[in-house]
Structure 1
Amino acid sequence: MRIGIDFGTSYSAAAAVVDGAVKLIEFEGNSQFRTTVFFPHQLPNLQDFVLTDELQAQAQRLAAELKADQSRELARIAALRRDAERLTEQERSNALAMIPTLKAQGDSSFYDAAVGSVRRDWARGEVIAARAQSASIKDALYGEEAMKAFMRSGEGHLVVSPKSMLGYALLPSARETLLSISTHILSYIRETASAQLGTDVRKAVLGRPVAFRSSQGEAGNEMALSILTDAAMAAGFEEVSFLEEPAAAAFEHHRQVELPTRVLIFDIGGGTTDIAMARVGGDLPAPEILASWGEPRGGTDVDLELSLKGVMPLFGKHVTSTPVHFYAWAASVHDAKQQRDFQVADFCLIDEPYRARLVALQCPGHTVRLNRSVERARINLGSDSRRRLKLSYIEDGLTCPLDHQLLEQASEDLSQRLEQLLRTAKEQASCAPDIVLLTGGMSQAAMIPSLVEKVFPGIPIFRGDASLAVVTGLAWAAGADGGAQA
């Protein structure tokens, strides 16, 4: 059997055609799940450290190396001073001012430092071993359960939106990590689908954006597809193909119209936005995709801007001397490196109350919790004029008001990019659309119909299923490819 998989930035879903109808796969009772995975593991307790004979010998060797390094540095400084003494008075003064001072340490100091280094290496090894032991599909949690478990325990390894990193230039080790995480998620999807469909699912049609988020252009698209292909094969799929997400939405719409129709599909998701011009309906056996365009931006970019503009001033942004990039690190929950950099940042010189708030935000799970609150506020501000975030987990009684004006400011960059994408599609398309079909989670934002009307005045606008149009279309495409009938 062949299934369709929507491996999304924010949410993922799967479906298959069974007896002529689409069957959505359920994940913990829902038709989709957050593209988030949590690997629980117990962090090592430093009190368990024991200085064994082997570790003591290692510390003694390191202490000897530190002492030798000091001796060499003291000799170098002494030589510099001797050379400076031979200079004229003015030159001597300048030369001596440039020579570093070094306070000589005793043997006990070297040994204590060496033991501390050995202790840190031991703890690092324990963490790696714990992660290796727990990084199993049997132990992993997905979606909302993953986020709740991480926030509840404060330990383990949480990965949010791995799709957003697929197109970036990565070190080999980082690529392997991303491949492993994607494999876990696709394994979870395959095994869940197999259980519900009553057959061993080995074939899939995966949705893909027209343009992945990337730091390397078209090469990033190729790398993303390569990682997804490798991950799918490692997850147990034997045959995998890809279909652009707006083209998948066209498959779903194709079954709903009788007359030949030119439709512009405008798919605005969490991490990417895609447009496709297609012919659907009539006697066509399947949609005919005429052209497609993509922009690697979406709803998560609005969340980031809303957090930076509306929430981070409560943590000292533009109020203290804290560099702005620290706040971007805190808000970028999809970027594991930036999250790690924020976790280890030192805010001891920041004035109160901002120092205490930043330190509280560094607690495990708090940046993710804040991001979820901002995301919910962004969605609710589509219909409400104001929202107030409760941040008592940061500081007792702390709240953050957000309003529609802030949302408009946070959406400005994305709005401009999407308008330009629509204009590019209009200029390059060989014909005008009969209708515009909106899909994707961000398509529910109030600004989207206005953008479409601005670029395509007078063209009827229809709303597809914001969450499931793509995966439903992928299921129909998988069925058309053969093998998706039970």
Structure 2
Amino acid sequence: MFIGFDYGTSNCSVAHMQDGEPRLLPLENASFYLPSTLAAPTRDSVSEYLLRHYQIQPLDAVGQQLLRRAVATNREEGIDLQADDLLFGQAALDLYLAHPQDLYYVKSPKSFLGAMGLHEVQLSFFEDLVCAMMANIKRRAEQVSQQVIDDTVIGRPINFQGSGGEESNRQAENILRRAATRAGFRQIEFQFEPVAAGLEYEAGLTQQQTVLVVDIGGGTTDCSLLQMGPNWRKQKDRSGSLLAHSGQRVGGNDLDIHLAFRQLMPYFGLGSLLDSGLEMPMKQLWNPVAINDLSAQNDFYAQRNLAELKLLHKEAQEPQKLARLLQVYHDTLGYSLVRRAEEAKIALSQLPEFHSTLELATEALPLTIHYDEMLQALDGPKQQIIKLVREALTLGGCTPDVIFMTGGSARSPVLRQAVAEVLPQVPLVSGNDFGSVTAGLARWAEVCFG
């Protein structure tokens, strides 16, 4: 059996072909979409868990080194891994929200795969993370379908998040391929996510069209200008139909991060002053919510940063705000803050105001965000997305017949209006915002393996 596999920044989903149509498989209870999260007792638990409970071996000497170190550390700490000690999806998120300080939690490891300057052991650990998530999803899909899944087409962005350009892309794709191989897939192909979404849109076309696909996912925005229609359907060589691509690290997570920074971090010291009259260092307020930036997260939660935060607390004109920032450090609350911003973003697509409470260990802070405040916070990412749309059009050298928007953030009225204003005379259509990429990957898997 073959599947299309959307290993997403926010969610993962898979689909197979049934009676000529893609069918998504439920992965968590009745949901087709499994949040891209993992929770474990410790960071070192992941590598040992793969061997102990999935019987998955490392592929090379670096992986073996990582495994030996993880086993030794777990023995020293008295950790005896049980079958249910690794949690995925909503179960992982629920555990983190209940006990953020007591476990190792990671969201969206896809965001880190293109990071440059990593040591071999770090790359091997990312491979273990992805492998654990893929193996879990493969097993869930096989249980639901009652079939062994051998082959897959995995979606990938035009450009992974990373500063290395094509080197970042090669590194990220290599991690995904190695992880998928270890998870048990035999034949593995990749397809650009916006092209996959276009393939699903193309299935309903009765005539040729030039389509601009704008896929705004959790981690990246990707645009593809494509020739589509019955003449191209099911052809494996579609190079002649691919007119232009553009892609960048800006997506739904960035919207949430910018909103969290502008509207939540003032409670933790953003804009406040030191006794010297200087403003609080910006990076100390940005890094905890920059959950898609590995170096920012490492810098903030590093042991050496604790002394810096204590000094800022001592020198702050409003020390209670820095006391809250110290809570963020000790309880690893960055993900919680970004999640609250995401809730606000979703609510403000329908309401003029968002009212909630920030629950900390020592106090509850009333929170109100207005629609206009959200617009101001999101303007930077919005302008980046508009630039990507214009870049694809310039590279393609033609005007599309239709704009097909997809991805979880394509529902945002702010972003839909922004894209529509670039080409006001071109109709903008939508499909399944969360499932179009997965369905298109399944269609391409049928071309590759059927």
| TM-score bracket for the superposition, by shorter chain length | 0.7 to 0.9
- Deviation, structure 1 residue 126: 5.0
Give the TM-score taking structure 1 as reference length: 0.78
Give the TM-score taking structure 2 as reference length: 0.84
One-letter code aligned to 1:379: I
The match for 2:89 is 143
- Deviation, structure 1 residue 3: 0.5
- Deviation, structure 1 residue 138: 5.2
Aligned to 2:158, the other structure's residue is in SS state coil
Whole-Å Cα distance in 2 between the matches of residues 225 and 276 of structure 1?
Answer: 19
- Deviation, structure 1 residue 131: 9.6
Whole-Å Cα distance in 2 between the matches of residues 471 and 389 of structure 1?
Answer: 34
Change over 3 Å in CA distance of 1:338–1:3 after alignment to 2: same
Change over 3 Å in CA distance of 1:309–1:241 after alignment to 2: same
Q: Structure 1 residue aligned with 2:388, among 416, 421, 424?
A: 421
- Deviation, structure 1 residue 132: 7.9
Question: Residue 150 of structure 1 contacts residue 365 of structure 1 at CA under 8 Å; is this kept in 2?
Answer: no
% identical equivalent positions: 28
Query: What's the CA shift string for 1:44-97, capped at 9, x where partnerless?
Result: xxxxxxxxxxxxxxxxxxxxxxxxxxxxxxxxxxxxxxxxxxxxxxxxxxxxxx
Change over 3 Å in CA distance of 1:179–1:41 after alignment to 2: closer
Larger deviation: 328-337 or 152-161?
Answer: 328-337
Whole-Å Cα distance in 1 between the matches of residues 322 and 390 of structure 2?
Answer: 46
Q: Does 1:292 align with 2:245?
A: yes
The match for 1:271 is 219
Query: What's the CA shift string for 1:133-158, capped at 9, x where partnerless?
Result: 54x87531111210111232332211
Question: Residue 151 of structure 1 contacts residue 364 of structure 1 at CA under 8 Å; is this kept in 2?
Answer: no
Q: Does 1:166 align with 2:103?
A: no
The match for 2:411 is 444
Change over 3 Å in CA distance of 1:127–1:318 after alignment to 2: farther
Whole-Å Cα distance in 2 between the matches of residues 207 and 129 of structure 1?
Answer: 40
Change over 3 Å in CA distance of 1:214–1:476 after alignment to 2: same
Q: Which has the larger radius of gyration?
A: 1
The match for 2:285 is 327
Counting only pairs closer than 5 Å after superposition, residues 40-59 of structure 1 correspond to structure 2 as 40=41
The match for 1:10 is 10
Larger deviation: 332-341 or 181-190?
Answer: 332-341
Question: Residue 183 of structure 1 contacts residue 235 of structure 1 at CA under 8 Å; is this kept in 2?
Answer: yes
Change over 3 Å in CA distance of 1:171–1:463 after alignment to 2: same
Please tell me the root mean square deviation across aligned C-alpha atoms, in Å: 2.4
Whole-Å Cα distance in 2 between the matches of residues 342 and 463 of structure 1?
Answer: 39
Aligned to 1:342, the other structure's residue is in SS state helix
The match for 1:58 is none
One-letter code aligned to 2:255: V
- Deviation, structure 1 residue 218: 1.2
Change over 3 Å in CA distance of 1:281–1:126 after alignment to 2: closer
Change over 3 Å in CA distance of 1:336–1:145 after alignment to 2: farther
Question: Residue 361 of structure 1 contacts residue 367 of structure 1 at CA under 8 Å; is this kept in 2?
Answer: yes
The match for 1:312 is 265
Whole-Å Cα distance in 1 between the matches of residues 148 and 76 of structure 2?
Answer: 32
Aligned to 1:391, the other structure's residue is in SS state strand
Change over 3 Å in CA distance of 1:172–1:309 after alignment to 2: same
Whole-Å Cα distance in 2 between the matches of residues 172 and 248 of structure 1?
Answer: 32
The match for 1:409 is 376
Question: Residue 15 of structure 2 contacts residue 442 of structure 2 at CA under 8 Å; is this kept in 1?
Answer: yes
Query: What's the CA shift string for 1:345-372, capped at 9, x where partnerless?
Result: 2334144321332233234353222221
Equivalent pairs, count: 402
Whole-Å Cα distance in 1 between the matches of residues 270 and 88 of structure 2?
Answer: 33
Alignment gaps of 5+ in structure 2: 45-70, 275-279
Whole-Å Cα distance in 1 between the matches of residues 203 and 368 of structure 2?
Answer: 44
Alignment gaps of 5+ in structure 1: 44-123
